[in-house]
Amino acid sequence: MERVDYIVIGSGIAGLRATLELVGHGEIVVLTKERVTQSSTEYAQGGVAVVMSDDDDISLHYEDTLRAGAGLCDPDPVKVLVEEGPTYIEELIGWGARFDRVGDQLELGQEAAHSRRRILHARGDSTGREIVRTMLGRLRRVDGVQVRQHALSLQLLTDDRRCLGVRYVDTITGECHAMVARAVILATGGAGQVFAQTTNPDVATGDGIAMAYRAGALVADMEFVQFHPTALNLPGAPRFLLSEAMRGEGGRLRNSRGEAFMPRYHPRAEMAPRDVVARAIISEMERTGTATVFLDVRHLGASFLKRRFPRIYRTCLKYNLDIARDLIPVSPAAHYIMGGVRTDVFGRTSIPGLYAAGEVACSGIHGANRLASNSLLEGLVFGARAAQAAKEDGWERPSLGRLAHRCDERASWRVPDQIVQRVREAMWQKVGLIRSGRELQQALALLEGLDSPASDDVTRNFLTVAQLIARAALFRRESRGSHYRTDYPHRDDERWLVHSGQQRGRSPFPIPVGDVFPEAGGDISQVMGRTDS
């Protein structure tokens, strides 16, 4: 067992920014389950949504975010995001991030549901990779930080007062470790791998959400999973993301007959919110009896496509697809979870000493449907704020004698194949883009049946996340944003203008929009008890 000052779990944008904020304030250990660069941030193409031009305004970004969230965005964290975002982007540029420019001006892209061109991008479609490069470069120049790769976090260590640390396994050696600290910051990313079709990397299995829930933390809005409309749909090819920026630059969706179909579904056509576009694609495939639709960017020209989308262009060529000449077969895939560990505007969770930022967290920014390219900005802003809170809250280093820990035998971050296949297929077929109460009940019964007292922590975490999504989707008896139920096809603001909450030992319950989350040390039952039903 080791003792340090701060533990950061995850090495995406939120984890790296949190770590940089902690530098100089003690001994910091970053745990990441694979390589340090293996995160959703590394694969982020579209860019960062931020107000950086004279013809844009903070208030417009605020309103666009609220509109996309379908009534469930919490105003305070959205205000923090859009107001503080430009400062953190300027900081990143000062550290050496090279965003694309036209002359001496930043080049800004357009994406769905944005009222202005405000999407910063780097090397065309490698924005996340450039941000990771910049932050890792800065991290290498500082002291006091250890990065431990191939460190699979299994369980949070707690007592009756606070979070004390984490138990993890080295997946190369099989050695199990326990580490305690003043504070733990979760930045473990999303959970797309619980679905059969996803754009997420293999590591996105929702461990952080599951560990926090199992430790007693409040989670919220787990029913809201964003399915990206345009993932590459070729036999034998990965579900590679085709950035929304391609539609922002003029790409058109066509069905198997060559018809541009989006104007039939929404007045903004290809620029409609993601949930609308994704469901329109499913409807169009059913209407035409096909398994794909097509993204058409041929009219944009080869020279433009090679400059603006070089990574996408090269990847498609590997599969004998020239996007300057060929239609690109696409269909939806699980992409981003709006729900997660409930936090305040400083990343504090309901467990003192535990903080969360990025996709693992649910601060209420995204509501029922994330506005395109808000996620990288969220990681920057709230990664820093979570670390600020962890420092300011001033927790003492726990005594090593306060807890004992057990270690399982050699572990891998891969859940047994037979369980993975059954979970992913059930989630895709019954808890995917289009849901019903009957199918959700079937999925939940299957997921609960796969769990057993003999399950190891890796498997239990995987099953826990899937159950949380299915349970929340069954709880919300309406359709809103990314959550659509055929048995409750309409939005119901009278009954369901609330977040969904889940906490170990309780049935799902409503949380009023904008409700103030208790700060570290507060009694969660006092705040949430009045909303229980």
Residues 326 and 319 sit within 8 Å (Cβ to Cβ): no
Q: Examine domains 2-190+336-402 and 229-334 and report if their fold is the same.
A: no
pLDDT class of 452 with cuts at 50, 70, 90: confident
Residues 107 and 122 sit within 8 Å (Cβ to Cβ): no
Q: What is the pLDDT of residue 531?
A: 31
Q: What is the pLDDT of residue 38?
A: 66
Q: What is the pLDDT of residue 319?
A: 94
Query: What is the DSSP code string of 457-499?
Result: HHHHHHHHHHHHHHHHHHH--S-BTTB-BTTB-S--HHHH-EE
| Interior angle at CA 104, CA 101 and CA 105, nearest 5 | 60
Q: What is the pLDDT of residue 34?
A: 87
Token pair for 257: 């007959």
* Least confident range of 174-183, 320-329, 452-461: 452-461
Please report where in the chains the tokens 């499913």 appear, as a residue: 282
Q: What is the pLDDT of residue 413?
A: 56
Tell me the CATH number for domain 2-190+336-402: 3.50.50.60
pLDDT class of 225 with cuts at 50, 70, 90: very high
* Least confident range of 75-89, 410-424, 434-448: 410-424
Which residues is 282 bridged to in the sheet?
none
Q: What is the pLDDT of residue 281?
A: 97
Of 274, 385, 424, 485, the catalytic one is 274
Q: What is the pLDDT of residue 245?
A: 87
Chain centroid to CA 447: 22
Please give the Cα distance from 54 to 167 (Å, whole number). Answer: 49
Of how many residues is the chain composed? Answer: 533
Residue 125 DSSP code: T
The pLDDT of 56-71, averaged and rounded, is 96
pLDDT class of 64 with cuts at 50, 70, 90: very high
C-alpha distances in angstroms, 18 versus 14, 325, 522? 6, 44, 23
The sheet carrying 2-3 orders its strands as 2-3, 176-180, 163-170, 151-158
The sheet carrying 340-342 orders its strands as 361-362, 340-342, 219-220, 498-502, 509-512
Q: What is the pLDDT of residue 521?
A: 33
Q: What is the pLDDT of residue 113?
A: 83
The pLDDT of 412-439, averaged and rounded, is 92
Q: What is the pLDDT of residue 408?
A: 56
Please report where in the chains the tokens 């977040």 appear, as a residue: 499
The pLDDT of 359-383, averaged and rounded, is 96
Q: What is the pLDDT of residue 180?
A: 96
Residue 529 has pLDDT above 80, yes or no: no
Q: What is the pLDDT of residue 371?
A: 93
Helix ranges, 11-166 (H): 13-22, 40-43, 58-68, 75-94, 127-139
274 is catalytic: yes
Residues 154 and 168 sit within 8 Å (Cβ to Cβ): yes
Residue 523 has pLDDT above 50, yes or no: no
For residue range 100-152, list pLDDT tens digits in order.
999 999 999 888 889 999 999 998 778 888 999 999 999 999 999 999 999 99
Q: What is the pLDDT of residue 527?
A: 34
* Least confident range of 41-50, 352-361, 374-383: 41-50
Please give the Cα distance from 456 to 472 (Å, whole number). Answer: 24
Please give the Cα distance from 504 to 66 (Å, whole number). Answer: 30
Q: What is the pLDDT of residue 453?
A: 82
Q: What is the pLDDT of residue 37?
A: 72
The pLDDT of 495-504, averaged and rounded, is 96
pLDDT class of 524 with cuts at 50, 70, 90: very low
3-class DSSP state of 370: coil
Please report where in the chains the tokens 């090269």 appear, as a residue: 314
Please give the Cα distance from 426 to 391 (Å, whole number). Answer: 42
Q: Which amino acid is at 449?
A: G
Residue 300 has pLDDT above 80, yes or no: yes
Torsion of CA 495, 498, 499, 503, to 10 degrees: -70
Please give the helix or strand (H or E) that residue 420 lies within, else none.
helix 417-430
Q: pLDDT averaged over the chain?
A: 91
* Least confident range of 36-40, 253-257, 360-364, 439-443: 36-40
**What share of the chain has pLDDT > 70, as a percent?**
92
For the four alpha carbons of 282, 287, 292 and 298, in that order, the dihedral sign comes to negative
Question: Which is more confidently placed, 372 or 420?
Answer: 420
Token pair for 65: 């975010």
**What share of the chain has pLDDT > 90, as a percent?**
81
Domain ranges within the chain, ordered by starting residue: 2-190+336-402, 229-334
Reference 43, options 319, 240, 306; nearest CA is 240
Residue 517 has pLDDT above 60, yes or no: no
Q: What is the pLDDT of residue 519?
A: 37
Please give the Cα distance from 182 to 399 (Å, whole number). Answer: 10
For the four alpha carbons of 212, 217, 222 and 225, in that order, the dihedral sign comes to negative
pLDDT class of 41 with cuts at 50, 70, 90: low
C-alpha distances in angstroms, 17 versus 78, 123, 533? 19, 21, 38
The sheet carrying 108-109 orders its strands as 48-49, 119-120, 108-109
Chain centroid to CA 412: 23
The pLDDT of 253-281, averaged and rounded, is 94
Residue 156 has pLDDT above 70, yes or no: yes
| Letter string b/e over residues 133-172, b meaning 16 or more CB atoms within 10 A of that residue's CB | bbbeebbeeeeebebbbbbbbbbbbbeeebbbbbbbbbbe
Which residues is 354 bridged to in the sheet?
184
Q: Which amino acid is at 143?
A: D
pTM: 0.93
Question: Which is more confidently placed, 410 or 295?
Answer: 295
Residue 434 has pLDDT above 70, yes or no: yes
Question: Which is more confidently placed, 208 or 275?
Answer: 208
**Ramachandran assignment for 221, one of left (phi > 0), alpha (psi -120 to 50 degrees), beta (any other):** left
Tell me the CATH number for domain 229-334: 3.90.700.10
Highest mean pLDDT among 101-115, 359-373, 518-532: 359-373
Q: What is the pLDDT of residue 525?
A: 38
| Interior angle at CA 243, CA 240 and CA 248, nearest 5 | 160
Please give the Cα distance from 429 to 25 (Å, whole number). Answer: 48
* 317: phi then psi, degrees, rounded to nearest 5: -60, -30
